[in-house]
Structure 1
Amino acid sequence: AGVFEGKPDFDLLLPPEEPAEERRAGEAYCKKIEGFLINHVDPDEIERTAKIPDTVLKGLLEIGAFGMKIPTQYGGLGFSYKNYGRVLTLMASWSNILALTVAVPQSIGIAMPILLFGNEEQKQKYLPRVAREAISAFALTEPITGSDAANIQTEAVLDSTGSQFIVQGEKLWCTNGPIARFATLIARVPARRAHRDGKSVWVPVPEGKGAEDLVHTAFILDMHQAGVQIRQRCQFEGCRGIENAHMTFQDVHVPVENVVGEIGKGLKYALIILNVGRAISVPAICLGMAKQAWQPTLDRANSRQTFQKPIGERQTQQMRIGQMAANLFAMETLALLVWHLADHKQFDIRIEAAIAKMFCSERTIHFLKDAQIIFGGMGYETAESKRLRGEPGFGIEQLVRDAEMYRIGEGATDVLRPFVAREGLSQHLDRARTYFDERVTGIERIREFVRLLRFYIPWYWRQWRRNPLSSRLEMRHPKVRSTLRYAERVSRRLARAILYAMAMHREALRDDQGRQNRIEAVGEDLLTIAATVLSAESKERTAGRHEAWDLAEEFFRNARERINRNIRELLRNHDRILTVIGTRALHGDYPSLSSGIIRRGLNEYLPKDKR
């Protein structure tokens, strides 16, 4: 977050080294998983049948793959986040659907909520089961609520005996739902305020009588409980083997002992555990998919002849592959950094997690589309179709289809960008809230203006003064030092530009997503620039590998162009013109755009009996 305030602390990107024994444990388990995947998992069968065989899931449970993040005292492997990410990357390079199925129970299934917020009895009862025996799921999204999770409608009402909650409602896109024994359920509980031990808490009220509000609460749901019904196994453009449910709850009885943490904190818990998916699972799976495509793409470019010449010798493809290499290096570097930060619990990595999720998912989509272009027609044909006539059955088209899900899941890009940008905006908007309030007039407004001046004059002066870099060994390398000096300088420039934008647009900046997206993009690039140069320095210093600098410097060159454009457009852009056109289109002002076709609106695609 310091990047948005003009005072980045690059030392935070260099936490203590990973213990050697921890790394060895992760590498050994990767070997074990690799053997299991090669000998027991047919990814083409999963794609063809849209089903992961039960024998595969049972085998992974037996070797602890579903309990990597569960401590050993509860039957798990007790891995670090970094080792967990390594294993998921390896699995995703073989089958991203299998990696996703393994990741969900360990990030948003019942294991993580219980570990973070559950009591000891819940840990003893459930963690050994989900580590080695049972798969779990996450039930938050509903048909009318996605990223807007605060508006869920599923209710859990305490019964008259006070011993159990009665759940009514429905959930959509519940990953692992059809095969799960347990699920993390987020529902709204009728409750009232009470005071206990000197603090205000929510207390559920029997049968909802006298409730002051419906508050979000987390539960451990037994999927075998009467009233839980899987209505549909959802099908998607890609990720064909995924088990994803639309399910309903009718008079489902959940014991009060199954409440996780405190009444009223379910949404907070859900957002916290989603950080695990954003920081670790999604970047790892995306990285594995991109790495899976890398070598076949090089092989295709070197072997495919057009006009008596391999396409890899043509400049267009060389430039495309060069860009892919730089992006793959940046993705891996950023992912490893965020995993490492997550292992050192003193860091709040909400922002870094969101950036890692966005960067890796978006870059993977572009990476795989570029690979598909290099494959040409072969990249559009399915692996099974190619295999029938003796061609290599590499399914780049499947990876392209699958990748889109990772941009959407765990927080869509268009939702996370403003979330990150508000780290840069909120401090200014909160500080100036009273001054921007149109109801404030006269002497009070003058006082507020003076107060702001007293703060911002010295603040603004500091944004023109260079902050010294650390003297740590990693930062003494001349390329590292010059790059981080650039990042520090741009951070101060960004902070000034945010202030200028606030002065020009005032309270309207809170809803100006075009500018917010640019703020996030600059922060994303600065974090990744710093990560890549520090990684290149480490590879050179510890392994004598100088080639990483080619990739780091190429990413830096492209990022610098993006940064200049985004900061410039933070102050002056054409967003308003596009916004007006979009608004007019939504109001039906361009009827000619739908002329000359058999025109059908969205509701005309409903089944005939529901129109």
Structure 2
Amino acid sequence: MIRSAKIILQSSRTQNALLKRFVSASPVHCKTVTNNEKQGSAPTEDLSFTMNLFRGQVQGKEVFPYPNVLTEETKETAQMLVDPITKFFEEVNDAAKNDSNEKVDDKSLEGLWDMCAFGLQVPQDLGGLGLTNTQYARMVEIVGSYDLGVGITLGAHQSIGFKGILLYGNPAQKQKYLPRVTTGKEYAAFCLTEPSSGSDAGSIRTKAVLSPDGKHYIMNGSKIWISNGGIADIMTVFAQTPVTDPKTGKTKDKVTAFIVERSFGGVTNGAPEKKMGIKASNTAEVYYEDVKIPIENVLGGVGNGFKVAMNILNNGRFGMAAALSGTMRACTKKAVEFATSRVQFGKKIDTYGGIQEKLARMSMLHYVTESLAYMISGNMDKGSQHYHLEAAISKVFASEAAWYVCDESIQIMGGMGFMKDTGLERVLRDLRIFRIFEGTNDILRLFVALTGIQYAGAHLKELQNAFKNPTANLGLIFEEASKRVVRTVGLSSPPSMDYLVHKDLTPSASLVSKGIDTFGQSVESVLIKYGKNIVDEQYILNRLANAAIDIYTSAVVISRASKSLNENISTAQHEKLMAEAWCLEASERVTQNLKTISSGKNLDNFTKLSTIAKTVCENGGTVQLNPLGF
């Protein structure tokens, strides 16, 4: 039930289309306001761990201690929901049937509506359950354990479909629409992606023009790959609208978000798409022909559609990590049940080192994913506004980890895992889309790297400005100069994290600290070398993103394991082992990635790879001849 995966098949193109504008626009949480920019105002502190990582600094306020945001009351509420939801998925919903019929069974849908599963975070006075992000994550996790197809139906509805109304709706819009999508059994959808809009948000062609009487917008266009597109009654639709700049008097098209009802007329849809996985979810093309939209249905202000779309997507990414955490738990359980009973060569296969390594890595990946989900949801519940890079990392990590865990579960079970009745082949098909929608993992890696680099670059710009008036900025100049001198002679030490973690995890914390220090130096080096052209160096950006992911996930798991050790939780020693193992291997990957981007040999190899790819494309596919020559 759940924004679970927040699924939007269309999101791949959606986020691709927004990447350039997102990074260039630099959202508020990414903005560094210096005294040089705003005289008389204090600099804005960004509390994002990942953002500060790009400056080689430890910002631990939103990682340590691991969040514990549930009160006794809110914890009790979540616990009360777990049993009925679990029972529903075990006794009512049939994931295999939904997949085979390519639709969620009517009985399941009725049950979900009756449980208010379509309005988990809608305020109670508007018909919903009013769950916090952390409570929501727990519900999402259960859904992910049983049926990702259902999760996508729920997520497309509330995580993105009407999420814009929750985030940006005025009181009248909330009062009018939220009860309808919560208890009125009206489905919602998020409609942004179009057949022609790929990497450029400006290529959206759907247009909405103000009527002569000024009371309506007239919308024409189409959207593609819309989850719930064939069943949605209420849609958040993005269209180009003419906007006049009051300063210049010039008019240009800007994206605006609208609340569109199918009942307005002129809204139709195509047949459900045939998909590789998540077959139970409805995905369809939607068409708009002379749709009259009242001006009061503008969402978030005329021309602000880009901001609305980005924040809808950013706001719920943690839900994907929560849902996939549930999926990974279920896959691992099946693999363990098989491994502990299957006998080969006279021994149960769980006694063999190869199987043990698989199960250990599966467990570690699940631990990291689960830790990310509740770290981010907990911070959001505490009021954090600095989670966007972390949420993107959680999506990338969770989607790749879940694929690995499911694939290894099948491998452990061998031929049995490949059989349809085991259920893992359906899960594997469902999981494939998660690395594509919500922004492809490729795009999100670039988003993480470029946004972080932009933040680091602002600091270098501040230093450059300081040299223009050295007398007034001696403190900053000497501070930076001393750092570089100490670093050059090898006397510098990484920023310490020892005081933030349990004493048993200080060696792991030291590995993370060293990685942060080296990472900051690497970012500074590539900025100096490439300047603004770094945006075109995707080989380097991808490796910086991978290093950032490894460092952030390491910090998260030692935070969670420290909490368990401090509170003497029964699983604390097991968590400690996983945290230690993860941090060691992650630190080795960080070292390798950072060496790669500074090595002339590796950079030359990037050039070779680029040439190979260009040649393949020029030839329309594989270039070399078959060895037999025919």
Q: For the Cα contact (< 8 Å) 1:66–1:130, is it kept in 2? A: yes
Of 224, 232, 251, the match for 1:172: 224
Report matched runs for 1:199-348 at 5 Å. Answer: 212-280=251-319, 282-348=320-386
Residue 585 of structure 2 is matched in structure 1 by 558
Of 546, 559, 574, the match for 1:521: 546
Q: 1-side partners of 2:501 and 2:210: how far apart?
A: 62
Q: CA RMSD in A?
A: 2.8
Question: Given residue 416 of structure 1, which amino acid in structure 2 is its aligned partner?
Answer: L
Identical aligned pairs, as a percentage? Answer: 28
Map Cα deviations across residues 251-296 of structure 1 (whole Å, 9 max, x no partner): 111111111121001111110010133222x112211211111111
Instruction: After superposing the two structures, state which structure 1 stretch, 462-471 or 350-359, moved more.
Output: 462-471
The alpha-carbon deviation at position 462 of structure 1 amounts to 8.1
Q: For the Cα contact (< 8 Å) 1:43–1:95, is it kept in 2? A: yes
Does residue 173 of structure 2 align to residue 135 of structure 1?
no
Partner secondary structure for residue 292 of structure 2:
strand
Does residue 110 of structure 2 align to residue 58 of structure 1?
yes
Instruction: After superposing the two structures, state which structure 1 stretch, 358-367 or 487-496, moved more.
Output: 487-496
Map Cα deviations across residues 114-170 of structure 1 (whole Å, 9 max, x no partner): 122111110111111111122211001111224543421111111111111111111
Of 427, 433, 440, the match for 1:399: 427
Map Cα deviations across residues 305-346 of structure 1 (whole Å, 9 max, x no partner): 334433323222221111111111111111111111121223
Q: 2-side partners of 1:476 and 1:498: how far apart?
A: 26
Residue 577 of structure 1 is matched in structure 2 by 608
Residue 81 of structure 2 is matched in structure 1 by 29
Instruction: After superposing the two structures, state which structure 1 stretch, 17-26 or 499-508, moved more.
Output: 499-508
Report matched runs for 1:463-474 at 5 Å. Answer: 464-469=492-497, 471=499
Instruction: After superposing the two structures, state which structure 1 stretch, 451-460 or 32-41, moved more.
Output: 451-460
Question: Structure 1 pair 459/76, CA: closer, same or farther in 2 (3 Å)?
Answer: farther
Aligned residues: 562
The answer to which structure, 1 or 2, has the higher relative contact order (CA under 8 A, 6+ apart) is 2
Q: 2-side partners of 1:177 and 1:12: how far apart?
A: 37
Question: Given residue 565 of structure 1, which amino acid in structure 2 is its aligned partner?
Answer: Q
Instruction: After superposing the two structures, state which structure 1 stretch, 327-336 or 51-60, moved more.
Output: 51-60
The alpha-carbon deviation at position 56 of structure 1 amounts to 1.8
Map Cα deviations across residues 419-470 of structure 1 (whole Å, 9 max, x no partner): 111233214555778999xxxxxxx9x9799999878535646873544548
Residue 531 of structure 1 is matched in structure 2 by 556
Report matched runs for 1:351-500 at 5 Å. Answer: 351-383=389-421, 394-429=422-457, 457-458=481-482, 460=484, 464-469=492-497, 471=499, 475=500, 477-500=502-525
Q: 1-side partners of 2:610 and 2:468: how far apart?
A: 36
Question: Given residue 495 of structure 1, which amino acid in structure 2 is its aligned partner?
Answer: G
Residue 6 of structure 1 is matched in structure 2 by 56
Q: 2-side partners of 1:31 and 1:127: how far apart?
A: 26
Q: For the Cα contact (< 8 Å) 1:186–1:216, is it kept in 2? A: yes
Q: For the Cα contact (< 8 Å) 2:57–2:495, is it kept in 1? A: yes
Q: 1-side partners of 2:99 and 2:342: how far apart?
A: 26
- In the alignment, structure 2 segments of 5+ residues that lack a partner are 1-50
Question: Structure 1 pair 460/32, CA: closer, same or farther in 2 (3 Å)?
Answer: farther
Q: 2-side partners of 1:594 and 1:345: how far apart?
A: 60
Instruction: After superposing the two structures, state which structure 1 stretch, 88-97 or 3-12, moved more.
Output: 3-12
Partner secondary structure for residue 191 of structure 1:
strand
Q: 1-side partners of 2:376 and 2:200: how far apart?
A: 26
Q: 1-side partners of 2:455 and 2:61: how far apart?
A: 23
The alpha-carbon deviation at position 52 of structure 1 amounts to 0.4
Question: Structure 1 pair 145/39, CA: closer, same or farther in 2 (3 Å)?
Answer: same
Partner secondary structure for residue 177 of structure 1:
coil
Map Cα deviations across residues 536-592 of structure 1 (whole Å, 9 max, x no partner): 222233323221112111211221211110111121122122112112222229764
Residue 349 of structure 1 is matched in structure 2 by 387
Question: Given residue 139 of structure 1, which amino acid in structure 2 is its aligned partner?
Answer: C
Q: For the Cα contact (< 8 Å) 2:121–2:136, is it kept in 1? A: yes
Does residue 241 of structure 2 align to residue 189 of structure 1?
yes
Question: Structure 1 pair 434/9, CA: closer, same or farther in 2 (3 Å)?
Answer: closer
Question: Structure 1 pair 590/45, CA: closer, same or farther in 2 (3 Å)?
Answer: closer
Q: For the Cα contact (< 8 Å) 1:156–1:168, is it kept in 2? A: yes
Question: Structure 1 pair 118/310, CA: closer, same or farther in 2 (3 Å)?
Answer: same
Question: Structure 1 pair 137/596, CA: closer, same or farther in 2 (3 Å)?
Answer: farther
Question: Structure 1 pair 288/591, CA: closer, same or farther in 2 (3 Å)?
Answer: closer
Q: 2-side partners of 1:256 and 1:395: how far apart?
A: 48
Q: 2-side partners of 1:395 and 1:591: how far apart?
A: 36
Of 607, 617, 622, the match for 1:586: 617
Q: For the Cα contact (< 8 Å) 2:241–2:253, is it kept in 1? A: yes
Residue 607 of structure 1 is matched in structure 2 by none
Q: For the Cα contact (< 8 Å) 1:70–1:79, is it kept in 2? A: yes
Question: Structure 1 pair 236/2, CA: closer, same or farther in 2 (3 Å)?
Answer: same
